A and B are shown apart, each in its own frame.
Chain A
Amino acid sequence: MSDAIIQCRNLGRSFGDFHAVRDVSFEVPQGEIFGYLGANGAGKSTTIRILCGLLAPTTGTALVAGFDVAKDPEAVKRHIGYMSQKFSLYTDLTVAENLDFFGGAYGLSGRRLRDSIDKVIEEVGLQDHRRAMTSSLPGGRQQRVALANALLHDPRILFLDEPTAGVDPAARREFLSLVRRRVATGVTVFLTTHYLDEAEYCRRVGLMVAGHLAVLGTPAELKAAHAPGEIRILHGNSALLGAAVRPLPGVHAVQSLGGGIRVRVDATHLPAVLSAARNVAPSLQVEVAEPTLDDVFLAVVQGGLG
């Protein structure tokens, strides 16, 4: 047995004939930010709900904080904080009242409860909004209340199910920096997202395709393994450029952009591609770009690795 804080072995969950998650195995060591990626309906939320003890797995086992999620979900719940996809605190209660309720639900009371509430409210910077009705807060602040709520009982693992969906970029960055501050204290984070830039913050990333965990690794490993080659952005007429470049050998992927194309090609074939492009666009401008997880995602989904 490894000492990983989350261990999944052959985990599966079906709803009738529909296999939402099948045969998923992975481990997350303590103190890591683990990113779980995939399209809507790929099985991200189902996995997170199994790990939180909200859904029983139909096959396989999962140990979270040392407890079996199927046999002892209540023990798991004591050690985790969970933020669901949808804002799910009470909008008819104030920030402090929500924390008061959930703190009580985690068994905190009296002085310990008050101290914990003060601490998390300060941590997420909502001191001035303690008495604000939760419904009156903008989306970004609501997310911070939900995070405060998930941190209230000092969990060892934080499960965040698309925590920043629908939040503006500045608020997203702020939110992620709050999460990383907790990670620095040894908390493990399991994060689902479909913002691929958000996944770059993760130490390791798993990609779900149709219920399977298709690939798993650090962002750099994944890019090297699944998005090899050079990335170039060629400015010009995207239809003409695409038609000229796409059939050439060594070309892995071509994406149309507004006013140009983004092409991923093996380094050895790059000169041939560039000269073919110049044939249709004599004054071609070429820009060098880095591979991203988007490239990995597209390659994996289109390559049928799932």
Chain B
Amino acid sequence: MTPGLMAVMRKEIRQVSRDRRMMPMLIIAPVMQLIIFGFAVDFEVEHLKTVTCDLDGTTESRELLRRMTADQSFLDIGPATDCLRPHEDIRSNRAEVAVVVPRGYATDLLSGHHVAIQILADGSNPLYGRFARESATAAIEAISAGVMRERLELARGLTQVERTIARPLPQVRVFYNPRMKSALFMVPGVAAMILLIVTTIVMAMNLARERELGTLEQVIVTPLRAWELILGKVLPFVIIGCFDVLLVLTVGAWVFDVPVRGSLLLLALGTLLYILSTVGLGLFLSVAAKTQQQAFLAAFSVMMPGILLSGVMTPIENMPRWLQPLTYLNPIRYYVEILRGILLKGASLSDLSFDFAALAVFGVVILIAAGLRFSKRVD
């Protein structure tokens, strides 16, 4: 700790704590974002508004529709406006799904013929189509199993005991997030994202602002060394970032029941490495930019692809092959893996050693790059 480094840190802390806009941005915004993301980003589809067209009008067709809409996936909002054009209800946003039971459904079902049911789903959101198909299939399978049982019973006169039909049933056990809540998947990702936004943007604006105001010139005319200036600016924001993580995890545990199954110490280490990377990135952009506006735009255009290529929103395995290697350059990717690993799976350091090492390398490299790019000249 040199006098210069201490002086820079004292100054940064004074300025941040005095800036009335900064404190809400650093403390209130992360909590707000977590709550909004946690509730709004939900990949579970429920209560799809469903219109029905029962062209058969038999006990069997009514039973089918009843079973389907008894499921949480569909919300029966009544018959379609025009059964010849049920898709009109989807186009006009009245419904997301339309189910059409054709004339002769009951007869075909009971006589053992092929039975077709039409399900129209709003594909403008791919989730709707997928969930409509899965839920409808489940309902129809249950019905056809019942029908098959009755027919076998009739045909062979089986006894009560033999009435069950042997069907292989997959026994899927979901680990770490057994109820498959989106929030558990999202909260670690959102934590990484919030930290990125707060630390990178604030840092990117910092040095560019000093350059714009002219105070940077007064600073570089002193014998203060570049590393003292850079580290002195970075450290206070690392501390603020660590505080934000703690805040986000507390709120996550409280509101969304996000567990902390692994070591808190390991989590702190990962967070430290991550914040060093994001702050270093912000500083690098700040050194490269001439104005605050440039720094802000640069930070933004780096962050957006960074978030999309991190696995926060969608699994990296779903990305095209050629795009996947890019994610290895992305510190967010590693931190999300570390967070999900420690919080949900209770992963250990040896499980996550690659992610820790990658983050450390990124952080050190970007800080050195910022230090080299920063020269104590004004030209």
Residues of A within 8 A of B (CB): 15, 49, 52-56, 73-74, 77-78, 80, 82, 84, 86-90, 92-93, 97, 100-109, 113, 149
Asked whether any CB of chain A lies closer than 8 Å to the CB of B15, the reply is yes
Q: Which residues of B contact A54 (CB under 8 A)?
A: 217, 220-221, 377-378
Binary interface encoding of chain B residues 218-254 relative to chain A, with 1 for a CB under 8 A from any of its CBs, else 0: 1111111100000000000000000000000000000
Q: Given A54-B217, A74-B223, are A104 and B7 also a contact pair (CB < 8 Å)?
A: yes
**Structural contact, B223 and A92, CB atoms closer than 8 A:** no
Q: Please name the residue on chain A nearest to B228 by beta carbon.
A: A105
Asked whether any CB of chain A lies closer than 8 Å to the CB of B24, the reply is no
Q: Given A56-B379, A90-B15, A101-B7, are A107 and B218 also a contact pair (CB < 8 Å)?
A: no
Q: Which residues of B contact A73 (CB under 8 A)?
A: 376
Name the distance in Å between A38's Cβ and chain B's nearest Cβ. 20
Residues of B within 8 A of A (CB): 2-4, 6-8, 10-11, 14-15, 18-19, 213-215, 217-225, 376-379
**Structural contact, A102 and B376, CB atoms closer than 8 A:** no
Q: Given A77-B222, A88-B217, are A93 and B377 also a contact pair (CB < 8 Å)?
A: no
Name the distance in Å between A11's Cβ and chain B's nearest Cβ. 15
Known A52-B221, A101-B10; further 7 A-B contacts with Cβ < 8 A? A55-B377, A84-B217, A84-B221, A101-B11, A102-B222, A113-B3, A149-B218
Q: Give the distance in Å from the alpha carbon of A86 to the alpha carbon of B11 in the complex.
A: 21
Q: Please name the residue on chain A nearest to B220 by beta carbon.
A: A54
Q: Which residues of A contact B2 (CB under 8 A)?
A: 107
Q: Which residues of A contact B4 (CB under 8 A)?
A: 104-105, 107
Q: Give the distance in Å from the alpha carbon of A102 to the alpha carbon of B223 in the complex.
A: 10
Q: Give the distance in Å from the alpha carbon of A78 to the alpha carbon of B218 in the complex.
A: 13
**Contact of B378 (CB < 8 Å), options: A55, A102, A103:** A55
Q: Which residues of A contact B221 (CB under 8 A)?
A: 52-54, 77, 80, 82, 84
Q: Please name the residue on chain B nearest to A87 by beta carbon.
A: B214
Q: Which residues of B contact A86 (CB under 8 A)?
A: 214
Tally of A-B residue pairs with Cβ under 8 A?
A: 88
Q: Please name the residue on chain B nearest to A49 by beta carbon.
A: B378
Q: Which residues of B contact A80 (CB under 8 A)?
A: 221
Q: Give the distance in Å from the alpha carbon of A1 to the alpha carbon of B11 in the complex.
A: 43
**Structural contact, A104 and B218, CB atoms closer than 8 A:** no
Q: Which residues of A contact B14 (CB under 8 A)?
A: 93, 97
Q: Which residues of A contact B377 (CB under 8 A)?
A: 54-56
Q: Which residues of A contact B6 (CB under 8 A)?
A: 104, 109
Could you pull out 14 A-B pairs where Cβ atoms are within 8 angstroms? Answer: A73-B376, A77-B222, A88-B215, A90-B15, A90-B215, A93-B15, A101-B11, A102-B218, A105-B4, A105-B224, A106-B222, A107-B3, A109-B7, A113-B3
Q: Please name the residue on chain A nearest to B19 by beta carbon.
A: A92
Q: Give the distance in Å from the alpha carbon of A90 to the alpha carbon of B6 in the complex.
A: 17
Q: Give the distance in Å from the alpha carbon of A101 to the alpha carbon of B19 in the complex.
A: 18
Q: Please name the residue on chain B nearest to A93 by beta carbon.
A: B14
Q: Give the distance in Å from the alpha carbon of A109 to the alpha carbon of B222 in the complex.
A: 15
Q: Which residues of A contact B18 (CB under 8 A)?
A: 92-93
Name the distance in Å between B266's Cβ and chain A's nearest Cβ. 35
Q: Which residues of B contact A100 (CB under 8 A)?
A: 7, 10-11
**Contact of A104 (CB < 8 Å), options: B3, B220, B376:** B3
Name the distance in Å between A13's Cβ and chain B's nearest Cβ. 9
Q: Which residues of A contact B225 (CB under 8 A)?
A: 74
Q: Give the distance in Å from the alpha carbon of A90 to the alpha carbon of B220 in the complex.
A: 14
Q: Which residues of A contact B376 (CB under 8 A)?
A: 53, 73-74
Q: Please name the residue on chain B nearest to A75 by beta carbon.
A: B223
**Structural contact, A88 and B213, CB atoms closer than 8 A:** yes
Q: Give the distance in Å from the alpha carbon of A52 to the alpha carbon of B218 in the complex.
A: 11
Q: Which residues of A contact B218 (CB under 8 A)?
A: 82, 84, 88-89, 102, 149
